[in-house]
Amino acid sequence: MTGTATKPAHRKAPSLPPDPLRLVRRTGYVLLGVQLAAFLAWSSLLWSRYADTFDGAQFVQAWTLIAHGQLDPYDTVHNFMFWQDHSEFGVWPLALLYWLWPHGVTLLWVQDICVVAAEAVAFTWLYELAAKRIPGNGTAWLSALGLLLILVNPWTLTAVSFDFHTESLAVPFAALILRDLWAGRKRAWVWVVPLLLCGDVAGTYLAGIGLGALAASRKFRRQGAAMAALGILAVLVITLVHGNAGSGGGLRTYAYLGGLSPDGQPSMTAIAKGAMLHPGNSVHALWGKRADIWATVAPDGVLGLGFVPVLPSLLAVILADNLAFGFLFSPPSFQYLPIYVLMPAATVAVLAWIAVRRRRLAITLGALVVVQAIGWAVVWLPRVPGTWLRVSPGAAAVLASVQARIPAADEVIASQGIMGPFAGRTDIRPLFGPGSQPVHGTVWVIIAPSQGIEKLSVASAEALTGELAGPLHATLVAHGDGVWAFRWQVPRAITTLQVPQDMSPVPAWVSAGAAGRPVVSGPRDTWHSAATGARGYVTDGLLWRVPAGAYRASVTLASSGPVNVEAWDTNGNVLLARKAVPGSRGVQAVIFPVRAAVAYPVAAYTGWGPFRAEFLPPPPGQRIEIRVWSPGGETVNVYRASLTRVGQ
């Protein structure tokens, strides 16, 4: 009998426990990819809704002109050569992307990619920093903490919402330099050239990186000294050749620190010397912005300020932005991208250092950092979309229809809050405030008094609309949803367009209310806001920003029945005056006193609890609005309104 061999039983290999660090790393990169997709979608929405402003317009213009062979483009937004803005020569190679997708949203997509790429480098670096001190599960939880700090910071969304800026291009290179430098890789120098191509601001990043290496380790002192010197030299050279005119006036914005006048073009040496002799100026400036500074660093874990290799870079950003005169650079935004990207890595490094010595303390501090980060995100992240997406879908549709009709060679003057998508041309000008703009040939003027983030007052914008329709004889091409677009064939004798002052009279047809409609046909002096017959405001939104005081309002109208003419202080939503007007036989001027005695503060969101901050002082003055109300069923025509201060 032949025996059969018995096969040995196949034993299943024991499964290995999952690697927590590998799981955190994979999850981190996936979540960063999701964040990138969200950023790309958000930028596309912003662009489609014309939420690209003054800053974005200059880059769209230069990018387009360089792509078409104008290698030294003139920036008509700021009135200087584009390279003089911040010496941002990195925009030149970006012009190649124009031929892949010739729309300004491409720049926003590049910005999104650069920001998330910088975050990915920082995430990689932070788990490397943690692994050097506490390998295993300790590295995993610290890496997860750092990832959370990167992902939930509400200010990163703010940064990518505010147009395109070359800080977004510089930050990934700064992160790469730091990571490679501290890993001992000579490759760190490869990233220096593209970093410096991003301009004078990027030079301060390099100087900070170099100073950090110089202070933190003997091993890297020589490289640190060289990088610091190169960064400082780049900033000095750019300053000397007047290549930083976009820095809020360059050195002039820091003149007050040394007790100097900005009108005298003070030198860097004079400012530094004066600041040392008058240190109180710097202390006072920083103390006045302490809430902004805290709000900037708190979501990323303030502990990161204790990591010496990164500290000079973080301080360079904080001091440069907050020592500048005024509050322009103080609120969280693109200026602080290095903090949003690098601070989480620095916080993880500090927690790892503490964990080696006192693990419980590190866990406690880590928990507090997480709670604080989530708190800032919960309080402020929902506010970001409403802050930047201020153009309605209807207004965006009107703007798109107008943009499609404008020849590439024509000049465009547009409200600064919606001008970005119109900027791919040789001549684009902003409506930024009262004054004059040069005009020639055929000019398109697009005015959106209450759409987008505007600097020009509503009264000035509405008065300009009346000037274009009236004495300037421009052609009204399109209007709707608060947008007015004119085509103006400029007479040879005219070289400038005068933007009216804030206290100018305004036409009522510019701002018809819910119970009104604009009548913009026939002779221009007969245009008006007409009642629809419904109960409500025939016209509203006729606004002036004025100091508290005594005023006289005048409204020109005609009505077949009684109407109320009202003046409101919209700061406090308070009715200041109301005059009941019986039906008139013809057009009449209704004049009545308006006493704005109380200075109501502007309502602004400031957060709550420990997550409070007031990033910008509210605009001065009271917003006085004139409205005309009808009970319905009457013929009411409102022609114009004005507000003048008593005694002027």
Nearest to 337 by CA among 218, 175, 194, 216: 175
Q: What is the pLDDT of residue 9?
A: 52
When mean pLDDT is compared across 190-199, 236-245, 520-529, the lowest value belongs to 236-245
Q: What is the pLDDT of residue 647?
A: 72
Given a contact cutoff of 8 angstroms between Cβ atoms, the answer to whether 257 and 275 are in contact is: yes
425: helix, strand or coil: coil
The residues, ordered by sequence, that sit 6+ positions from 221 with a Cβ below 8 Å of its Cβ are: 213, 214
The structure's pTM equals: 0.92
pLDDT range class, residue 2, cuts 50, 70, 90: very low
> Cα–Cα distance between 556 and 215 in angstroms, integer?
71
Bin 326: left if φ > 0, else alpha if -120 < ψ < 50, else beta: left
Q: What is the pLDDT of residue 1?
A: 44
pLDDT range class, residue 16, cuts 50, 70, 90: very low
Q: What is the pLDDT of residue 250?
A: 63
Please check the confidence at residue 15 and state whether its pLDDT lies above 60: no
Kindly report the length of the chain.
648
Please check the confidence at residue 144 and state whether its pLDDT lies above 70: yes
Given a contact cutoff of 8 angstroms between Cβ atoms, the answer to whether 350 and 343 are in contact is: no
Please check the confidence at residue 328 and state whether its pLDDT lies above 50: yes
Please check the confidence at residue 11 and state whether its pLDDT lies above 80: no
562: helix, strand or coil: coil
> Cα–Cα distance between 643 and 593 in angstroms, integer?
10
Please check the confidence at residue 563 and state whether its pLDDT lies above 90: yes
At 592-648, the pLDDT tens digits run 999 999 999 887 888 888 898 888 777 889 999 999 999 999 999 999 999 999 975
Given a contact cutoff of 8 angstroms between Cβ atoms, the answer to whether 507 and 469 are in contact is: yes
- Average pLDDT rounded to a whole number, residues 418-429: 96
pLDDT range class, residue 196, cuts 50, 70, 90: very high
What is the Cβ-side half-sphere exposure of residue 126, based on CA atoms within 13 angstroms? Answer: 36
Given a contact cutoff of 8 angstroms between Cβ atoms, the answer to whether 145 and 151 are in contact is: no
> Cα–Cα distance between 593 and 164 in angstroms, integer?
47
Please check the confidence at residue 469 and state whether its pLDDT lies above 90: yes
Please tell me which residue, 7 or 52, carries the higher pLDDT value: 52
Nearest to 160 by CA among 105, 214, 112: 112
Q: Map tokens 């010397």 to a residue.
A: 273
Strand partners, 549: 596
> Cα–Cα distance between 316 and 307 in angstroms, integer?
14
271: helix, strand or coil: helix
> Cα–Cα distance between 399 and 422 in angstroms, integer?
9
Using DSSP bridges, classify how beta strands 528-531 and 475-480 pair: parallel, antiparallel or unpaired.
unpaired
Please tell me which residue, 22 or 53, carries the higher pLDDT value: 53
Given a contact cutoff of 8 angstroms between Cβ atoms, the answer to whether 250 and 241 are in contact is: no
**What percentage of the chain reaches a pLDDT higher than 90?**
75
Please check the confidence at residue 18 and state whether its pLDDT lies above 80: no
b vs e for 411-446, b when ≥16 Cβ sit within 10 Å of the residue's Cβ? bbbbbbbbbbbbbbbbbbbbbbebeebebeeebbbb
Using DSSP bridges, classify how beta strands 516-519 and 574-581 pair: parallel, antiparallel or unpaired.
unpaired
Please tell me which residue, 372 or 248, carries the higher pLDDT value: 372
**Chain-wide mean pLDDT for the chain?**
91
Please check the confidence at residue 562 and state whether its pLDDT lies above 70: yes
What distance, in Å, lies between the first and last C-alpha atoms of the chain? 127
Alpha-carbon distance values, 475 to 53, 200, 444, 467 (Å): 25, 44, 9, 12
- Average pLDDT rounded to a whole number, residues 513-526: 93
pLDDT range class, residue 249, cuts 50, 70, 90: low
Please check the confidence at residue 10 and state whether its pLDDT lies above 60: no
Given a contact cutoff of 8 angstroms between Cβ atoms, the answer to whether 499 and 464 are in contact is: yes
Question: Around Cβ 368, how many Cβ atoms within 10 Å?
Answer: 13
> Cα–Cα distance between 260 and 81 in angstroms, integer?
28
**What percentage of the chain reaches a pLDDT higher than 70?**
96
Q: Which helix (H) or strand (E) holds 124?
A: helix 105-133
Nearest to 605 by CA among 401, 406, 414, 387: 387
Question: Around Cβ 220, how many Cβ atoms within 10 Å?
Answer: 20
Task: Dig out the tokens for 194 from the structure.
Answer: 């593209």
CA 176, chain centre distance (Å): 26
- Average pLDDT rounded to a whole number, residues 472-492: 95
User: Domains of the chain, with CATH numbers?
Assistant: 20-387 (no CATH), 392-504 (no CATH), 505-648 (2.60.120.260)
At 41-100, the pLDDT tens digits run 999 999 999 999 999 999 999 999 999 999 999 999 999 999 999 999 999 999 999 999
Report which residue type is found at 431.
L
Q: What is the pLDDT of residue 504?
A: 87
